[in-house]
Amino acid sequence: MTKDLFSSLMWKGVLVVLFSVAIVPSVLAQSTFHVFPQIADGSAGTLTYKTAVMVRNASDSPTGCTLSFYGLQVVVLSIRGLTGGPGGIAGPLATYNLNMPPNGWAYPRTLGQQSLATGYATLSCDGPVYAQLQYSLYAGSVKIGETTVFSAAESPRARFIVDQTEGTRLGVAISNNTNVAHDYRITTFDIDGNPTGTATVHIEARSSLPKFLDDLVPASANALGSAIVQSLDGSNFSAVGLRFTGGVFAAVPATP
C-alpha cells in the first residue's frame, strides 16, 4: 500500500460527517515508552487530517520525552501545560523533544500542512507518562470529527475481535519498530473459531503497514469473528485497528 492511511482512511471518498470519540483502555497506560502504530497528517482532497499526542507526566519529578515520527516528517505546534513553557511551532521534523514539569503535560499537534502522509510514532521518556493519540478531521477550518487511540503494546502477537457486518470494515495498522525487516501472518477465524483465511505481509525496518482486513483476507468480509497477527520469527511489533462504518470510525485495540 502507498502512503494512504487505509486508502486514506477512506477519507478521500468520505463526504459525510465523521464523528467518533473512541476511548479504550491503554495496554501501557503508564510507561516510559509508547508506540502509536499509525500517524496521519496533511490534506487529501478538500479534507485535512491532523494528529495530536497528549502526554501527561505521571511523576513528581520533571520528565523529558522524545517523540519520533517514522515514515513522515511533520510541522508541530506544541502547547505545554503547568509552567512547562508556552510551546511554539517547529518543523518539519522527524523527532521532537518534550520537557514537562512534575505532573505537567504536553500537547504537540501536527498542523496538516502537507499532502496526506502517514507512518507511525514512538514516545520515549525518562520517567513514566500517560499518552494517547488523537486523530482530527477538518473541512476547511472546521473540525468535523475525531477519535482517540491509546498506545499499543509491543508483542509477537496481536488479536482482534472483528465485526465486519452491516457494511463495516476493519483497518489494521502494523508497525515494525526494529532495525530489520520482518514477515507477519494474519489469520482470520469465524465465530466458532474455525480458520477462514490467511495472508502474509512483509514490513521493512522502522516502517508501518496499514491495510483493510478484507483486502488481506477476502473471506473475512461481511463476517463476525476474530483475527490474529503474528510475526513469523517471534519478533515484537505493535498493531491497532480502526473500525469503519461508512464515514464513522472508532479505535479497536489489539490484545496480545
CATH topology of domain 157-253: Hypothetical Protein Tm1070; Chain: A (2.60.290)
With CA atoms as reference, report the closest residue to 47 among 145, 132, 148. 145
Quickly state the pLDDT bin for 16 (edges 50, 70, 90).
very low
Top-ranked range on mean pLDDT: pick from 46-50, 76-80, 212-216: 212-216
Is 78's pLDDT higher than 70? yes
Of 70-74, 75-79, 159-163, 225-229, the least confident? 75-79
Is 247's pLDDT higher than 70? no
User: What global pTM score does this model have?
Assistant: 0.85
* The residue type at 74: V
Same fold, 6-150 and 157-253: yes
How confident is the model at residue 2, as a pLDDT? 37
The highest-level CATH class for domain 6-150 is: mainly beta
How confident is the model at residue 81, as a pLDDT? 56
Quickly state the pLDDT bin for 86 (edges 50, 70, 90).
low
With CA atoms as reference, report the closest residue to 157 among 224, 94, 226. 226
pLDDT (average), residues 225-235: 98
Is 195's pLDDT higher than 50? yes
Question: Hey, where are the domains in the chain?
Answer: 6-150, 157-253
